Amino acid sequence: MKTSRIIAGTALTLACAFVFPLALAQQSGVHRTELQRHDISVPGWEAVQVRIDIDPGMIVPNHRHPGEEVVYVLAGSLEYRIEGKPPFTLKAGDVFFIPKGVVHNVKNVGHDNASELSTYVVEKGKPLVEPVK
């Protein structure tokens, strides 16, 4: 009986670890396309490149990553809110660096679709996106 509870608890924990990031990634109005994923020379780490398209007025809610994020804005106007910093807006051609574990969100403040190319250098085996309330 005790073993069954441990197994059930472990299964529930693992499911939550994978379902919540998936829900954030598939949020209506926010479209993520993984472009590539490769091991890097640091054992236990990988590089993941993702295109993120955000419909006008949509927000990607507070979240963090298990590693660094390098952002290149491809189109539109995106307002970033980074923990400990005032909000700022980036436009096509702008770049930004988000350190490991820093809570942030982003909103499309333009009238057209916006998109960014995000390159993550993250610990392997961890969810790429961790929602934060």
End-to-end Cα separation, the chain, in angstroms: 35
- The secondary structure element, H or E, covering residue 60 is strand 59-64
pLDDT at residue number 25: 43
For 21-35, write each residue's pLDDT tens digit.
444 444 589 999 999
pLDDT at 28: 84
Q: Which residue has the tokens 């809610």?
A: 61
Cα separation, 6 vs 112, in Å, equals: 49
The CATH number of the domain holding residue 68 is 2.60.120.10
Q: Would you say residue 13 has pLDDT above 90? A: no
The mean pLDDT value for 109-127 works out to 96
- The pLDDT of residue 19 is 42
- Do 76 and 91 meet the contact criterion of CB atoms below 8 Å apart? yes
pLDDT-derived band at 16, boundaries 50, 70, 90:
very low
pLDDT at residue 3 above 90?
Answer: no
The residue-averaged pLDDT of 102-127 equals 96
pLDDT confidence of 2, banded at 50, 70, 90?
A: low
**How many Å apart are CA 117 and CA 20, to the nearest integer?**
22
Q: What digits encode the pLDDT tens for the residues 54-102?
A: 999 999 999 999 999 999 999 999 999 999 999 999 999 999 999 999 9
pLDDT band with cut points at 50, 70 and 90 for residue 1: low
How many domains does the structure of the chain reveal? Answer: 1
Residues of the domain holding 77? 2-131
Closest CA to 74 of 29, 131, 119, 36: 119
